[in-house]
Amino acid sequence: MADRQFATLTAHEARTLLDNREVSSVELTEASLERIDQVEDHVGAFVTVTRDLALGQAEQADQRIARGDAAPLTGIPMQLKDVICTEGVRTTCSSRMLENFVPPYNATVTDRLYSEGAVLVGKGNMDEFAMGSSTENSAFFPTHNPWDLDRVPGGSSGGPAAAVAASECFYSLGSDTGGSIRQPGALCGVVGMKPTYGLVSRYGLVAFASSLDQIGPLTRDVRDCATVLNAVAGHDPRDSTSIVYDPPDYTKSLQTDLKGLRIGVPKEYFVEGMEPGVEQATRDAIKVIESLGAEIGEVSLPHTPYALAVYYIIAPSECSANLARYDGVKYGFSAKEADSMWDALEKTRQDGFGPEVKRRIMLGTYALSSGYYDAFYLKAQRVRTLIRREFEEVFSEFDALVTATSPSIAFKLGAKTADPMQMYLNDVLTLPANIAGIPGISVPAGLSDGLPVGFQVLGKPLGEETMLRVAYAFEQATNFRSTHGDPPL
Ligand code: GLN
């Protein structure tokens, strides 16, 4: 089907066709919108489809291409996770609280993509306020994995990962606080990357846990990941945690050999409970890395087993503070029937937030409360420092680390909803990178039981170039896309 053919291209393949005038941006956008019409009832990757906006942006992109001043992403249809503010387009965080919230401004990443001439086809479904690992916590509907519709796409950026896998858009931006880009990327067979904390502006990203949140790309291949990172990375005076740094052209770091690199394999990342198919795919991937010329060495990160506990103190603590702003006065949902201000506040939060968000707010409030602060929050911050130092030490000897992205392949919808601990355990391999602020990328590493497995590369702070080089060389040597194609949908 012609639409599917266009829609399944990578962004860089689409770029070539656009520049050669073999396709127009309007045609690409129509192809994406038709795919959305065909599959969205089954996948559920979009909270909002911005058809008219997209077609208008596509027409402008075609004019820009005709003038000969196209940027790498001009005219290419994309999605943004619904936690990223878009002026005039509702931004819900998949929460009843923000169901009708239309931001009066764009996030910096939205502005940067728009100024490249990108085309927004819609907003991606997610776990409510990015809390979850399966997208089942969306207040609206769950997203289904395009490889098997009975299974979850991962989360919390499940909409973005599924939309890219199902060819509903060419790329998407997600947010990653503890793995929310990389884990759904792994489960849906696409590339997902979390940059170094501070490399991409968080201005206009609705906050979950401010010291951990980072925006990053979900793409069909590593070249597209580098291209999208080029567009969004760089200092932003509107985000006080943004690094003053002039990013390189990340596409220049894509090389097919790994000679001269030392790559560490942290032994603690072969966790108890890892599925045998995931372990096998990871060990095979490490052999590929070695065959490309890298020197492999086993390393130890002994505090890894504490990372999950540290994360589930720090993230809920920050969340409890950030989500205090939803009081029914300033933003979004507001309970109407109330006897007093306090009653209105209570009812707004009772009806506006879903169960997982409430659980996090309660956990965080508890950990920050007087008498418990030292025992929980302060202790967690201390262990965070130990985890960060441990990475620093390992990175003084190694250029990158490689691990599995998620201990399991995509699980069945409903399989873990009754047991939050089981759900939290899914993040054990991804959240240390957020705790330490280092970059991480997940690349498809084959199938296990017919479902994608992700391979994770972790880099030094601002070590995106080396990390992308490793991911690219691995991808080119294994070529998931030409071996396994797109999901059968
Ligand atoms: N799954 C983790 C959580 O529920 C991570 C979420 C994220 O990265 N946004 O907190």
Q: Categorize the per-residue pLDDT at 2 as very low, low, confident or very high, splitting at 50, 70 and 90.
A: very low
Catalytic residue among 138, 180, 406, 442: 180
358 annotated active-site: no
Find the CATH number of the domain harbouring 21. 3.90.1300.10
Q: What is the C-alpha to C-alpha distance for residues 253 and 250, in angstroms, rounded to an integer?
A: 6
Is the pTM here over 0.95, yes or no?
A: yes
Q: What is the C-alpha to C-alpha distance for residues 116 and 11, in angstroms, rounded to an integer?
A: 13
Does the pLDDT value for residue 3 go beyond 80?
Answer: no
Q: Is the dihedral of CA 147, 149, 155, 159 positive or negative?
A: positive
Q: Categorize the per-residue pLDDT at 486 as very low, low, confident or very high, splitting at 50, 70 and 90.
A: confident
pLDDT at 4: 57
Flag whether 469 is in a domain.
no
> What digits encode the pLDDT tens for the residues 151-191?
999 999 999 999 999 999 999 999 999 999 999 999 999 99
Does the pLDDT value for residue 234 go beyond 60?
Answer: yes
> What digits encode the pLDDT tens for the residues 385-410?
999 999 999 999 999 999 999 999 99
1-15, 54-68, 86-100, 229-243: segment of lowest average pLDDT: 1-15
pLDDT at 488: 83
Under 8 Å between Cβ of 484 and 165: no
User: Residue 17: which domain range?
Assistant: 3-256
Flag whether 382 is in a domain.
no
Flag whether 170 is in a domain.
yes
Flag whether 395 is in a domain.
no
Average pLDDT over residues 461-483: 96
H-helix or E-strand containing 215? strand 214-219
pLDDT at 8: 87
Q: Categorize the per-residue pLDDT at 16 as very low, low, confident or very high, splitting at 50, 70 and 90.
A: very high
Contacts of 330 (CB under 8 A, 6+ apart): none
81 annotated active-site: yes
> What digits encode the pLDDT tens for the residues 413-451?
999 999 888 888 889 999 999 999 999 999 999 999 999
Nearest CA to ligand 1 atom 5: 178
Tally of domains within the chain: 1
The residue with tokens 């266009």 is 6
156 annotated active-site: yes
Flag whether 428 is in a domain.
no
Residue among 478, 413, 471 at smallest CA distance from 443 = 471
Which two structure tokens, joined as six digits, stand for 124?
């991606």
Flag whether 202 is in a domain.
yes
Flag whether 204 is in a domain.
yes
Which two structure tokens, joined as six digits, stand for 133?
């690992």
Flag whether 167 is in a domain.
yes
Distance of CA 399 from the midpoint of ligand 1 (Å): 27
